Structure 1
Amino acid sequence: MKIAKDILYKVPIEAVHGSTSITINKIEFDSRKIELNDVFVAIKGVLSDGHLFIEKAISLGAKLIICETFPAVFTEGVTYVKVISSNAALAHLAANYYDNPSSKLKLVGVTGTNGKTTIASLLYQLFKRAGYKVGLLSTVKIVVDETIYGATHTTPDSLTINHYLNEMVETGCEFCFMEVSSHGIHQKRTEALCFEGGVFTNLSHDHLDYHKTFAEYRDVKKEFFDHLPKTAFALTNADDKNGAIMLQNTHARKKTYALKSYADFRAQILENQLSGLLLKINNDEVWVKLIGSFNAYNVLAIYGVALELGLENVEALRLLSELESVSGRFQYFISDTKITTIIDYAHTPDALENVLKTIEDIRTKNEQLITVVGCGGDRDKTKRPIMANIASSLSNTAIFTSDNPRTEDPQTIIDEMEAGVEGQNFKKTVSILDRKQAIKTACQLAKPGDIILIAGKGHETYQEINGVHQDFDDLKIAKELIQQLGK
């Protein structure tokens, strides 16, 4: 149990009706979860407005209402607090309720279009190998030291974040690495957190269904760095033109990494093979099990964070060489007939191009490259023709199929993809609505030595169609089909 005025600390309040000395039970922003003496935070969401459920929350026992607009009539015995932003209020309420757990460990946020999951997950892996208790908040999973929980969002809501950060503190974790999405920043989910550092990976075409313009998308990312304290570090990719923009107004210690530019942490690719990369980082050579130039950037970011958090150079390099690739990120297997199948989460134009160019760098050119790719429904439509153009241009055969169509017509999505294919590449494309059939067709077309890329879903083990999650694992299905076909 908590006192209302204690959890309201730092909440931007406009007006109060009632007493803030009342005792409260827990905080909820879903009226259906309200119990006696709870706090209900009314949030104006994309699909619904929590203000419409204030009366329901009170009927279920809510004693403290956080809202942006006072109701026309107040209920006796209930305290109402009018705030500037319910999202920002929730962030502070959650942090205060759990006694600000982010201030009790070293929390590092990773933001950018591509690479967030890989960097955060491998930092978790690296510091675990270094002997520390570590937490992870990622798209793939939430981990408290060694206990694994499922994840539903890249950046969870403020209550979920602080709940797990608190569990990490109680478990004795010293570090936590988390993905910070543009949605999470815009919706103030990270506002009340104390960060030890932030990492910027890159910025490319994504989420323009939500942010509307690329400039808005960029500036939301920048907000994260603008709010870092002087005691933190801000590590950005100097090879991305937006890297310098992220540092413009930050109070944090500025650090950079790059392959092509002058930077604090710089690398040169000496060898790039299917088995890994040989890198020269600053003045030291290190072999890592990750593949491709995009992973060279990820490795550099991880190295930079490790040093900023106090690891010795020699130990950081040793631990880098031991890292294993993240599930669904350039994950591959080779069949008995030497067909290489690669599973990757690439679901943006830039990510898809990076993966295809990485394959181009390591292939002999004697084999065929067959790419299976789709685009998600109810998401940014403008990237569909761009991704189809990239896939058809950089593959010998491109098979367009369903990704997670959600509530959209899968055929319409594919039609919009096909519109981006240039005339000279159209003969290299085929469209197959059913994703399993598309993967099977790729396996049937593949000859010994060929390469199959299945892009878009990576680690996901489901396909979302009309609001229903159906079991679907690209890696598992591809392995089964390759075996069935005797390839």
Structure 2
Amino acid sequence: MINLLEIFEILKADDNLVTLAPSWADTSFTKLSYDSRQVDADTLFFVKGAGFDPVYLEQAVQAGLTYYVAEKTYDVSCSTIVVKDVKRAMSLIAMRFYDNPQDKLKLLGFTGTKGKTTAAYFAYHILRQSHKPALLSTMSTTLDGETFFKSQLTTPESLDLFAMMAEAVKNGRSHLIMEVSSQAYLTKRVYGLTFDVGVFLNITPDHISPIEHPNFEDYFAHKRLLLDNSRAVIINAGMDHAEVVLEQVAGRDLDTYGKDSDNRVVTSSAFDFTATGKLAGQYSIQLLGDFNQDNAIAAGLACLRLGASLTDIRLGIAQTTVPGRMEILTQTNGAKVFVDYAHNGDSLDKLIKVVTTAQTGQVFLIIGSTGNKAESRRADFGRVINHYPELQIILTADDPNREDPFAICQEIASHINRPVTIEVDREAAIRLALSQTKTSQDAVIIAGKGRDAYQIINDQKVPYQGDWEIANQNL
């Protein structure tokens, strides 16, 4: 529950209050919502989004709504709390409403263009050895360590986020591991939140489009906000633009890892590696690729600060698998099938390098690109593919949304310097590639969707079996 006096104090302290109705002292709320379909007389409703339709507010008033928070007033018979920034208000009010659950958990946040999910899974498996972590991940979320469900957003909206935190506290969880996207800071989903440890994994151009970030500088700046809002930070010293990040955190409580750091992998093979520094020792790992070994080091350093022992770290890394991340199947002819969520140029490049090192025969790549966002990926895919002239390319649909998937494939193809096959039906594309392998040294790479059991078409999630499931049925 929260009352209007508390809301007044929160908004004034944040310099976010414009006007508040004079009868505020006697009113309290037992529910918060930004969905007009989920309101009643006890609900405080938040009007968010540039395209908000006032009709929804009218419907909410008819359902009994008495107060709403917005950046302007609307012509409805309902009291208004006018603020400068409704997203800031949502986050801080939600904190208080849910009794500040963030103060009852150790918070670990991962940001980076790629690797957030894998690093979060490493951290979850490390911490679960001796603690009771909750996990908010792109791939899966658990608030009790037993029930897992698919996340809708990489970082949930603030009202949902603090509700989830409160549920984790209620379930006796001790830690919360989160993926923190650039959108989380752009849309203020984590406004006012301080992490115990923030980890910056890497940065490459991505999420640049009219509805996301206008340019790389904006994207990078929003990524770096995690560092300003973390008590301690872990930085990949070997990543692009590391000097900018390290300058930003100079003088802070800091660990680095990777190239030019004491905390790094010194020797490795496919399924084990040896580290030096704070995590010195040998580790078994199920996820292929030196980038996954780096993710493991990053997670280990973070968890070491949060109460994990070296034994916990070693066991957790060895136990970690991630649905849809570098999953390997074997066809009846011995050829390998690699299912991976790689969905931008840099992650695709690293995936291809791992596969072509392991498999020396003919390699088929199935890939598409999302519609109506991250449009720069299409040229990035072409540039990466051109570095591997031996690859056989099949372009297909990958969450085309409101765009024509064939047109998206044609755009990707326009950046590739050799002929490609376009098969828009993703299931048919997978079957086609699997039918082309001949020997145990051949491989099929299915990139983009991992185990996602849907395709986004016209703003709807249309059921889809998932890349792994289709490949497994057609081995």
TM-score (norm 2): 0.92
Q: Residues 250 and 261 of structure 1: is their aligned pair in 2 closer, same or farther, counting only changes over 3 Å?
A: closer
8 Å CA contact retained: 1:462, 1:471: yes
Q: Distance in 1 between matches of 2:350 and 2:366?
A: 15
Q: Distance in 1 between matches of 2:384 and 2:68?
A: 50
Quote the offset at 1:68 in angstroms. 1.0
Q: Distance in 2 between matches of 1:358 and 1:86?
A: 45
Q: Distance in 2 between matches of 1:388 and 1:397?
A: 13
Q: Which amino acid aligns with 2:400?
A: P
Tell me whether 6-15 or 461-470 shows the greater mean CA deviation: 6-15
Q: Distance in 1 between matches of 2:136 and 2:251?
A: 22
8 Å CA contact retained: 2:126, 2:300: no
Q: Which amino acid aligns with 1:470?
A: P
Show the counterpart of 2:373. Answer: 379
Q: Residues 251 and 191 of structure 1: is their aligned pair in 2 closer, same or farther, counting only changes over 3 Å?
A: farther
**1:55-83 deviation per Cα after TM superposition (whole angstroms, max 9, x unaligned):** 43333222222111234x574xx542221
Show the counterpart of 1:61. Answer: 64
1:29-40, aligned counterparts within 5 Å? 29-40=34-45
**1:180-235 deviation per Cα after TM superposition (whole angstroms, max 9, x unaligned):** 1111111110113232111111111211011010000000111222233xxx2111
SS state of the match for residue 321, structure 2? coil
8 Å CA contact retained: 1:138, 1:151: yes
Q: Distance in 1 between matches of 2:229 and 2:276?
A: 30
**Equivalent of 2:265 in 264, 267, 291:** 267
Q: Distance in 2 between matches of 1:174 and 1:253?
A: 25
Q: Distance in 2 between matches of 1:260 and 1:248?
A: 17
**Equivalent of 2:358 in 353, 362, 369:** 362
Q: Distance in 2 between matches of 1:15 and 1:247?
A: 42
**Equivalent of 1:293 in 287, 290, 293:** 290
**Equivalent of 2:17 in 13, 20, 23:** 13
Q: Distance in 2 between matches of 1:179 and 1:14?
A: 33
Q: Residues 29 and 318 of structure 1: is their aligned pair in 2 closer, same or farther, counting only changes over 3 Å?
A: closer
1:309 aligns with 2:306: yes
Q: How many residues align?
A: 462
TM-score (norm 1): 0.90
Show the counterpart of 1:204. Answer: 204
Q: Distance in 2 between matches of 1:412 and 1:55?
A: 40
Give percent identity, aligned residues only.
Answer: 27
8 Å CA contact retained: 1:24, 1:63: no
Show the counterpart of 1:462. Answer: 454
8 Å CA contact retained: 1:141, 1:151: yes
Q: Distance in 1 between matches of 2:49 and 2:396?
A: 35
1:11-410, aligned counterparts within 5 Å? 11=11, 12-21=16-25, 22-45=27-50, 48-49=51-52, 53-71=56-74, 75=77, 78-128=78-128, 130-144=129-143, 145-209=145-209, 210-228=212-230, 232-250=231-249, 253-263=252-262, 265-268=263-266, 270-273=267-270, 276-282=271-277, 283-320=280-317, 322-363=318-359, 365=360, 367-394=361-388, 395-410=390-405
Quote the offset at 1:91 in angstroms. 0.5
SS state of the match for residue 418, structure 1? helix
Q: Distance in 1 between matches of 2:378 and 2:394?
A: 14
8 Å CA contact retained: 2:238, 2:258: yes
8 Å CA contact retained: 1:443, 1:452: yes
SS state of the match for residue 354, structure 1? helix
Quote the offset at 1:50 in angstroms. 5.7
8 Å CA contact retained: 1:221, 1:246: no
8 Å CA contact retained: 2:130, 2:312: no
Quote the offset at 1:9 in angstroms. 4.4
Quote the offset at 1:314 in angstroms. 4.1
Q: Which amino acid aligns with 1:58?
A: V
Quote the offset at 1:251 in angstroms. 9.0
Comparing both chains, which one has the higher relative contact order based on Cα–Cα distances under 8 Å and sequence gaps of 6 or more? 2
Q: Residues 213 and 162 of structure 1: is their aligned pair in 2 closer, same or farther, counting only changes over 3 Å?
A: same
Q: Distance in 2 between matches of 1:18 and 1:354?
A: 59
Quote the offset at 1:399 in angstroms. 0.9
Unaligned ranges ≥5, structure 2: none
Q: Distance in 1 between matches of 2:9 and 2:326?
A: 45
Show the counterpart of 1:485. Answer: none
8 Å CA contact retained: 1:400, 1:414: yes
Q: Which amino acid aligns with 1:15?
A: T
Quote the offset at 1:406 in angstroms. 1.1
Q: Residues 61 and 247 of structure 1: is their aligned pair in 2 closer, same or farther, counting only changes over 3 Å?
A: farther
Q: Which amino acid aligns with 1:81?
A: I
SS state of the match for residue 379, structure 2? helix
Q: Distance in 2 between matches of 1:392 and 1:261?
A: 30
Q: Distance in 2 between matches of 1:248 and 1:41?
A: 38
Tell me whether 90-99 or 189-198 shows the greater mean CA deviation: 189-198
Q: Distance in 2 between matches of 1:475 and 1:252?
A: 45
Q: Distance in 2 between matches of 1:254 and 1:315?
A: 23
Quote the offset at 1:142 in angstroms. 1.5
Q: Which amino acid aligns with 1:414?
A: C
8 Å CA contact retained: 2:275, 2:281: yes
8 Å CA contact retained: 1:200, 1:237: yes
Q: Which amino acid aligns with 2:101?
A: P
Quote the offset at 1:86 in angstroms. 0.4
Q: Which amino acid aligns with 1:30?
A: D
SS state of the match for residue 452, structure 1? strand
8 Å CA contact retained: 2:126, 2:315: no
**Equivalent of 2:431 in 440, 451, 463:** 440
